[in-house]
Amino acid sequence: MAAARKTSAASYLPEDRDLDSLEAAANVCRGCSLYESASQTVFGHGDSHAQLMLVGEQPGDREDIEGLPFVGPAGRLLARALDEAGIDPDVTYQTNAVKHFKFTRKNAKRRIHQKPSRTEVVACRPWLVAEIEAVRPQVIVCLGATAAQSLLGAAFRISAHRGELMRLPREAEIRVEPEPRVVATFHPSAVVRERTERRHEMYQLFVGDLRSARASLAGRRRQRR
């Protein structure tokens, strides 16, 4: 019988868990099959001591080409929303639940984003956990359901808990002190894609959730004094 294909990044994690070592190891990760068609691993980027971490779903077409998270249309909307929420993007750490772009090819030029499967999200999770443990953010903002389900469990629904300040569940097995708080909100691509009059409302809610994350950060700083 053929050996089952390995679907976890766990065995690719390096002994040193600083971000540079993690990124170098992630660049050669073969923990699932997504590396086969993507151009490169897109690891997290930003302030290595950020108090605020933003977690998206997976790199998009532009991110896959440039090798950095949130540099395409969703990233531009995110940058505008962060600015409106009074958050300096340079003091955040931005990453994704899945580190390779998953797509189908429409024609020679166009690649269409495909949602990563639960197996792929779980396979890639060790990188996200290691990033959280290395950066030790005070607040994690999950952008969309994929990121939220990776950290809060497969049953998590944005429609039921958007904007709530939560703790990581025990089952998340993420060991960071002090324990970060987690907020889940829309994915910026969902706002970009929304073509109805609902778009303005979604954007306002999105900015509001980012503002709450910032307020919670300030509250946690005061508590520690």
Asked if 116 touches ligand URA (CB under 6 A), the answer is no
Place of tokens 């300040």: 165
Find the binder of ligand URA among 26, 29, 74, 158 (CB under 6 A): 74
The rounded distance, in Å, linking the Cα atoms of 87 and 78 is: 11
**Please, which residue, 158 or 219, has the CB nearer to ligand URA?**
158
Query: Residue 95 is inside which H or E element, if any?
Result: strand 92-96
> What's the min distance (Å) between Cβ of 70 and ligand URA?
4
Find the binder of ligand URA among 56, 116, 126, 137 (CB under 6 A): 56
Asked if 96 touches ligand URA (CB under 6 A), the answer is yes
Find the binder of ligand URA among 63, 64, 120, 209 (CB under 6 A): 63
The rounded distance, in Å, linking the Cα atoms of 47 and 197 is: 36
3-state secondary structure of 67: coil
Nearest to 42, CA basis, from 15, 23, 55, 19? 23
Find the binder of ligand URA among 31, 44, 46, 59 (CB under 6 A): 59
Contact between 182 and 151 (Cβ < 8 Å): yes
Nearest to 180, CA basis, from 165, 159, 158? 165
Asked if 31 touches ligand URA (CB under 6 A), the answer is no
User: 198-224 and 73-84 are packed helices; what angle lies between their axes, rounded to 10 degrees?
Assistant: 60
Half-sphere exposure of 126 (CA within 13 A, CB side): 19
DSSP state of 163: T
Contact between 191 and 151 (Cβ < 8 Å): no
Find the binder of ligand URA among 44, 46, 69, 180 (CB under 6 A): 69
Residues 196-215 that bind ligand URA (CB under 6 A): none
Find the binder of ligand URA among 189, 206, 210, 214 (CB under 6 A): 189
Asked if 156 touches ligand URA (CB under 6 A), the answer is no
**Please, which residue, 113 or 220, has the CB nearer to ligand URA?**
113
> What's the min distance (Å) between Cβ of 156 and ligand URA?
16
- Binding positions for ligand URA, rule: CB under 6 A: 56-60, 63, 69-70, 72, 74-75, 96, 189
